[in-house]
Structures are given as structure tokens and as C-alpha cells.
Structure 1
Amino acid sequence: MNRQKFSGMKETFLQRRYGVRLGRRYVLTAASVVLLGVLGCSQVNGDKSALAQSPAPNSESVLPKKTANPDTKLVKANNKFGFKLFSEVLKNESSDKNIFLSPSSVAIALAMTYNGASGSTQQAMAKTLELQGMNLAEINSAYSDLKQLLENPNSDVRLNIANSLWANKNAKFQSDFIQKNKDYYKAQVTNLDFQDASAPNIINNWVKDNTQGKINKIVDNIDPNQMLFLINAIYFKGKWSNEFDKSQTATLPFNLASGQQKNHPMMSQDGDYRYQENAQFQAVSLPYGKDGKFSLYIFLPKQNSSLKSFYQTLNAENWEQWMTQFRKREGSIRLPRFKTDYEVTLNDALKALGMGEAFSNKANFSGIGKNLTISQVKHKTFVEVNEEGTEAAASTSVSIVATSAVQKPEPFKMIVDRPFFCAIRDNQTGSVLFMGSIMEPQ
């Protein structure tokens, strides 16, 4: 081969090779500039578009089959915290009231806040949230992965998780705190004039949009010392894998804890279910969608027991054990249609769980800004269960203020005609998204 021909081939090779590399570098740089531009645009200008979130990344393109493994430490921590929180809330509510929580929503909102906690305040929050043994980078990364695994844009089962930070435009915050919440929690960050009378409506509209109108308000008014709101919203809508036949729904008695009865629409169905039974309760898993990734778990105390007795055994350790004991079994289920909403301020419950310092003048949120404390953790939920499936929503607001068998068993029959416990669980990760005490179906 002559030298001229070799030289030409070499030049062509170099142009092709480094031209491609150069082109990729330009594409990556342009994408980074756009991303930074979006992240930096957080000032409210009165235009509704200023509140619009950047389109959520398509989790299917990144994780087509969602084969990534969840961080089991975080899932166990969240579930343990969730059952502790549920127990504390039960103590402060009347025994005949319906209770419905989203421990996942509360945990996420507090995890965003945790990014700004320091010293003994951080230690107290870690203990309450069961995050001991995990460093901040590990926690944030695990939450980022868990959000991707949980979110489900399926037509049969939909789960959306949204986060936001609403900052007083006159306050200064640590840029690292803001950036971590953007990066790991995909939080929308907006600077807002808290003295403007329309500010609460702007925040509430975001909550309304991200819960499909099921929760309309999380902020009633804004205190003069208010510096920051950290808000999580979760929306779930799932069709049963096997829908209940509406023609089988009949008005039948439901036995209240008081001993009285009320007539109520009861749905009925026969089939094969994941089921378990012991001396204390019957339990069944009712799956959503084609793949059964999510399920509604119903725990019904036996006639000679009670929901109060059941709650004495309801904790994360027993829950994990119970989850392994479900077996496929033929049977019938009768379940009330029900719809309820619930609202609770979690200050007292979180203080009882060891987070009191975070609500006091001794609070150390130096990672957010100077002289800050939590004034309120507010939680709202909605759930409706009917023949088609389940719709549920939750929002949590953290307000930051300035301090001043071998043999086939017989078919079971489970008639849920008395108070019961229920939970919506992601069966892939084990995350308990919602849990509730239904004393009287409405």
C-alpha cells in the first residue's frame, strides 16, 4: 500500500472517530445546559406555567422491566416507621373513627427534611425514621431508586409520587439542601411571596393536581415566620385483577364495634386468592392489574377476637412474617364498598416517637438555613374501594418556620362484616403505601 493511500485512510479514520466523539460531547453539553436552566428556574412570576413540573423521566425507558432490586434496608426502615406511626395515631383517635395513613408519604416528606438536619436533631430523626446505620448519600440514593421502582404509569394500576419545596422568597437556604432534593427526590422548587394572599392557593393547587383532585388543601394559611414547606403527594388508582360483579353487590348488615348493625352495600366474589388464617384472624390479598404487583391486604379479626387485640400484635416484624404465610386457596370474599378521607397533624405522634427536638427551639436544621424548626407535619389521605378497584391519595406537608399445604383445604369464607385493618402494598419492593382501620364503612 502506498504512503498517500495509507495517509488518506488514516485521516478518514481519525475524522470519523473523533468527529463522533466531538458530536457526542456537544449533545451532552447541550443537555446539561437545558437541565441547569430548568433547575434554576424557580421564581414565581404569576404565570401558572411557572408551577408546571418538568416532564417526569420515563421509568420504562431506563428500567424496562423494573428489575433493579430495592434497598431492603430502606424498605424495612419505612415499614417499621409506618407501623410505629400508625400505632401512635391510634392512641390519639377515638376507637370508632376510621383512620387511613400513607406512611410512605410521611417518610418521604421527612426524608427530604432530613437532608437539612444536623447534630442531635439529625440523630433523633434517624432514630424515629429507623434510618440508623445508613448515611445520607445511601438514604438519598435508595429513595431515588425506590421512587423509580414504585411509580407505575400502567393503565390498570397507576402510582405517581410527586415532591415539592415552596420557599419564602425573602429567606436564604443552603444551596446543597435544595440541590439534593431536586436531584434525588425530583422535587419541584418554587420561590414564593408568602405575604401574598394567593400563596396558599398556589401550593394547594399543586397538591390538588398531583392527587387528581382527591386532596384539595394541605395549607390553610401561612404564618409570618414561615420559611419553607416540603410537600409529598402520592396518587394510586388500581383496577382489581378480577373485578367484583356489581350484580352480586347487596345491602347486608355490617357489625359496628358498639354492637350495633348498619345496612351497607357488600361486594361478593368467589375465586382463588392468596389467603391465610390462624386463631386470631383471616387475611386475604386482593391483587390489582394483570401482574399483581400491588395488592390490597384485608386482615379480619376472628369473631372471638377484636381489632384492638389485633393491633397489639401489628408491628413490622409480625407483618414480615405474615407476608410469607399467604398461600393460594379457593374461597369466597364479601367486602364492603367504602370511601373515607382522613386528616391528622402528626406533631404529637412524631414527638412520642423521639423527634421532639426537631419541633423545638433546640432544632438544628443548619443544613437548610439559620434558626429553623419544624412547626407542623400535616397529613391528609383519601381512599375509595368499589367493584372496579381502589383509588387512594395522600399528601404530607412539613412546615419549617424560623425559631423565635399437601392436602387441598376446604374453601374459605371471609365475610368482612365488622371492623377491619387494610393495607396497600407494593409486592415487588415490599413497601407498604397505605394502611387503615375501617371501623364504619361510609
Structure 2
Amino acid sequence: MKTFEWKRSSIALFAILLAVGAISCSGSAHSQNPKSEIRNSQITQAREVKPVNPKIVEANTRFGFKLFSEILKKDGKENVFVSPSSVAIALSMAYNGANGQTKTAMAKALEFQGMTLEEINQAHHNLKAALEKADPKVQLLIANSLWARQGVDFNPSFLDRNAKFYDAKVKSLDFEQPAAADEINSWVKESTRGKIPKIVDRINPNDVMFLMNAIYFKGKWTNEFDKSNTQTRPFTLVNGSKKQVPLMKRQGNYRYFETNQFQAISLPYGDERLSMYVFLPKSNLAAFQKSLTAQNWQTWMKQFSAREGQIQLPRFKMDYDVELKEALSALGMGIAFDDAADFSGLSKGTTKIDQVKHKTFVEVNEEGTEAAAVTSIGIVATSIRVPEEPFRMIVDRPFFSAIRDNQTGEILFMGTIVNPE
């Protein structure tokens, strides 16, 4: 479902990512299982911001553009908005339980080749700390949690790594009780400051674990748009027809880049460490999308320079959802969805990923940006093998945008807007 509407509101950008797991409950499921709270969620350590391993940002960037490209094959003519950072974090948490060919396939899809599990985990740990302290004028909080079914024997090292490196709240619940879903949803609501009040509708009998990641961002543009300058102007849709939309307008000095294919601008938040990048194709969005690769992105980022000019950008608000199983399989991790999947590092039961759902929300107005993303990774028990398949930049036509940490290079969100309603 995709819905859009215009609205002026407070500034916030957040993302939540949920990973849901289900594994076999057979065997000696109670011997080593913790009784109530398995691990403390927020490990209290002196939090010193350490250098971020550039390999993890490069991996997340390559993965993000590959994933986005696969999604566009299905939804290229519609509004698309995803959080590659959130999907990468969720899959990295699940990656800690993968072994054998499943681990190899996930490493390839996630671009982890050449990195050890320890390096990946430590890099994500440092990245989380760096992003949370990126800008004193911007709120950027990242929270993780792992909810386990009581009575199931999980691998202690899997739980420990998620608690240690991802600061995950780890707790066991009686999944037979309705209160279990309520408690999980309460954490979701709190972690997203009420933006996403519910993610778990029900807990199925073979669901035994939920892995969750929540990212919350709130910040204002460094230079806000004057609402009195916003005017209703025509916006050209993909089919050539026009519709009236409110275009915000501002004159100023921005980091800007232009080629014979597109115009691009960096719209900073707070102290300018984080920005929204807007790319406006000069021909059509479909042609530009073919050039969206991690390599081109890195090249473009180096060519922005300060320039005086005017930006006109539509206010917009949208919801988007997509099932990522097909896209991730195309990236080479299809075995993770097959009965042959090896997640023996997670538990003694044989398991596979059953589904990967991703939902997002974004709103852009004169004050700033608000956005959210939810990814649900369902892991189920396996038994019988079943095969799986000065410039003047007027943004009055379909465009691409991304929200990026300018210091580490981490891309939090990216999307294409073809119909800003």
C-alpha cells in the first residue's frame, strides 16, 4: 500500500527495522534457555566514539544500491523509499547465526567479503556510536532488541554477540500470552517516539524469535524554507500529465553538482553533518536510475561544491511497503530462504528465513524531514526441502533523494518520488 498527502509538521526522521524469527521448538528446548530476561538490553560501557571502519560503510553502500536497483525492477514507476542502513543492520544481526553456504551467500549479498564476523560486528558497533553523536542539533538514536520464546534452546554466543555489538535488549517472553506481542509493540512505539505504535499483529506457533532495529532521527534544515514562499505549481508526472503541488522555495549557498544528465543539491540538517541529497534528472528518471550504482555515487559525492542558487522542492508525504525476499534472492542469498539454509549458529533447530517485509514513511516540509522504516525478517523451522524461487533547480518532475551522514558516508534512506501527493 502506498499513500501520500501534504502536511506541515515538526521535524523528525526516524527508521525502525524489525526482524522476526521462528525456529524449531523440538528437542531439549529448555535446558540452557534463560528464564526471563536473557541478557540486559543496554550494555553499560563507557561509550567512546571510535573510528568507523570504512569497509562497513562501503559494504552497506554497495548493498543499498544493489537492493534499490532490484526493487526498482518491480516498482520503478511508483514512489519508492527504503532504508538500506536498517535492512543491513537487521540482516547483520541474523548473519551472526548463519553458517556454511548460507553464511557465504549472505556475505556476498551484504558485500561482507574480506571481513571477519568480529570485524563486521565491531564496525557496526562503532558506526552506531558515531551516528548517535553525529550532530548535537540532530537527534539520531539507534536501538536493537531480540525477543525470544521461553523454552527454546538458543545459542548463547548468538545472543551475546547481538547484545554486545548491537546493544540489543535481549528478553524471553511467553509467546503463548497476548501480552507478549503487546510488550514487543510497546518497545517499538517507545523506540520510534510513537511514530510506529505496532508491528506485531500476532505471534504464530512456530515463531520463536523477533530481532528488531529502530532508528530515530529528528532535525531541522540548517536553513529552513520560508513558508510564505511556498507556492502551488505544476509537477510533471511520469506519463507526462501535470498536477498541482506545493513547491517550497529558498535562495542560498548550497553544495551543488550538475552534469548534462542531472542537477543535484545537498540540503543539510543542523550543523551540516547530515544532509538530504536531491538528484533531478534532465531527461527522465528511468534513464537516471540505470546510473545509480555505489561506484557512481562515490564519484558524485566528491564533486559537490559551494554555489549560490535557488532550490524549489515539493512538500511531500508518503508510505511505501515492499517484500524483499525476491530482491535479496536476486542478490545471491536465495539459500537463506531455502530448507537447505544453515542457521545453526542461532539454535539447534533447523531454520530458514521465510519473509523479509519492509515498510517506510517519509515527510518533507519547510522545517525538515520525518521518515521511518520497518523491516520484518521471519525465520521458520524447516523439515522437508521445498525449492524456492547558482543554479536554479526546480524539482517539478520525478526525482531521486537520499539522506546521508556526510562524515561516515552511511546512507540512511534513499528513494525516488514520482508522484508527491
Give how far 1:373 is off.
1.2
Counterparts of 1:335-414 in structure 2, within 5 Å, are 335-369=313-347, 370-404=349-383, 411-414=390-393
Q: Report whether the alignment pairs 1:193 with 2:174.
A: yes
Higher mean alpha-carbon deviation, 312-321 vs 217-226, is at 217-226
Match of 2:152, SS?
Answer: coil
Look up the equivalent residue of 1:299 and give its one-letter code: F
Determine the structure 2 residue equivalent to 1:173: 154
CA distance in 2, matches of 1:351, 1:221: 26
Structure 1 counterpart of 2:95, from 103, 111, 114: 114
Match of 1:399, SS?
Answer: strand
Once superposed, what is the RMSD of the aligned Cα atoms? 2.0
CA distance in 1, matches of 2:377, 2:44: 23
Determine the structure 2 residue equivalent to 1:437: 416
Distance 1:227 1:334, change over 3 A: same
Give how far 1:395 is off.
2.5
CA distance in 2, matches of 1:424, 1:80: 15
**Larger relative contact order (Cα-Cα within 8 Å, sequence gap ≥ 6):** 2
Give how far 1:434 is off.
0.3
Counterparts of 1:32-431 in structure 2, within 5 Å, are 43=36, 54=42, 59=47, 62-63=48-49, 68-93=50-75, 95=77, 97-152=78-133, 156-289=137-270, 291-302=271-282, 305-369=283-347, 370-404=349-383, 411-431=390-410
Identity %: 58
Determine the structure 1 residue equivalent to 2:30: none
CA distance in 1, matches of 2:129, 2:208: 30
CA displacement 1:136-160 (0-9 Å, x = unmatched): 1111111111100111485631111
Gaps of 5+ in 1: 1-39, 45-49, 405-410
CA displacement 1:315-344 (0-9 Å, x = unmatched): 100000000010111100000011112222
Q: Which has the larger radius of gyration?
A: 1
Give how far 1:351 is off.
0.9
Distance 1:170 1:148, change over 3 A: same
CA displacement 1:266-301 (0-9 Å, x = unmatched): 100001110011110000000000x21100000000
CA distance in 1, matches of 2:101, 2:409: 30
Q: Which has the higher helix share?
A: 1
CA displacement 1:178-226 (0-9 Å, x = unmatched): 0000000000112122222333332222222212222233333322211
Gaps of 5+ in 2: 1-32, 384-389
CA distance in 1, matches of 2:232, 2:288: 27
Distance 1:162 1:56, change over 3 A: farther
Q: Normalized against structure 1, the TM-score is what?
A: 0.82
Higher mean alpha-carbon deviation, 263-272 vs 374-383, is at 374-383
Q: Normalized against structure 2, the TM-score is what?
A: 0.86
* Count of aligned pairs between the two proteins: 382
Contact preservation (8 Å) 1:42, 1:190: no
Look up the equivalent residue of 1:355 and give its one-letter code: M
Give how far 1:380 is off.
1.9
CA distance in 2, matches of 1:125, 1:234: 23
Look up the equivalent residue of 2:277 and give its one-letter code: Y
CA distance in 2, matches of 1:51, 1:387: 43
Match of 2:51, SS?
Answer: coil
CA displacement 1:34-79 (0-9 Å, x = unmatched): xxxxxx98827xxxxx9995487685xx34xxxx432111100000
Contact preservation (8 Å) 1:143, 1:184: yes
CA distance in 1, matches of 2:246, 2:174: 48
